[in-house]
């Protein structure tokens, strides 16, 4: 093999390795949003689905009901008080419902918070649909400010036809606020 042929071959191998490295870098950046979309579509890891107003309006309300339990927490060291206005409600499947949470900043400084959320039992998560939620955006509370934060949701009546979730009688919607720094 001549020196020119060897140099050409080395450039090809180098180009392949650069291409592979760039592809791996791109997949690394895409992994987080792809994982979030996967979780929202499948309910994996207790992630509820998101629905538009139009999608929610198209759902037929069922005669069957389900209990929804609300759980509110703050991360250790975060000086907020965070509570649901109601701990448990019973709703018809398919009916859009508004739930309210109260948050109060008990500190002397402005704090930006972001809520993470989860659904239990996990097999019910893909049927729990949020139409509007304070958890989709960061929340900024001034010192000693108190706010009411809404969540609009429904439970898809298709839950009754799912082999794993048809016997679920109560769903827990749990939030934890974390300080965003």
Domain ranges across the chain? 3-42, 47-179
Q: What is 47-179's CATH superfamily? A: Ctag/Cox11 (2.60.370.10)
Query: Is residue 32 scored above 70 in pLDDT?
Result: no
Output the pTM of the full model: 0.72
Element (H, E) at 56: helix 53-57
Tell me the Cα Rg of the chain: 23
Q: What is the mean pLDDT of residues 81-109?
A: 96
Spatial neighbors of 167 by CB under 8 A, at least 6 apart, are none
Beta bridge partners of 84: 101
């Amino acid at each position: 093999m001549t020196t020119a042929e060897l140099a050409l071959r080395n450039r090809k191998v180098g180009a392949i390795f650069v291409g592979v490295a760039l592809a791996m870098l791109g997949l690394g950046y895409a992994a987080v949003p792809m994982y979030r979309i996967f979780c929202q579509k499948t309910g994996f890891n207790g992630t509820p689905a998101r629905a538009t107003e139009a999608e929610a309006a198209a759902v037929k309300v069922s005669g069957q009901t389900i209990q929804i339990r609300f759980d509110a927490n703050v991360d250790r060291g975060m000086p907020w008080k965070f509570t649901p206005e109601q701990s448990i409600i019973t709703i018809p499947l398919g009916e859009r419902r508004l739930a309210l949470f109260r948050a109060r900043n008990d500190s002397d400084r402005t704090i930006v918070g972001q809520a993470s959320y989860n659904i239990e039992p996990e097999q019910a998560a893909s049927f729990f649909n949020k139409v509007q939620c304070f958890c989709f955006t960061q929340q900024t509370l001034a010192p000693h400010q108190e706010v009411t934060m809404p969540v609009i949701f429904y439970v898809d009546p298709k839950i009754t036809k799912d082999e794993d979730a048809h016997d679920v009688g109560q769903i827990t919607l749990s939030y934890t606020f974390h300080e965003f720094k």
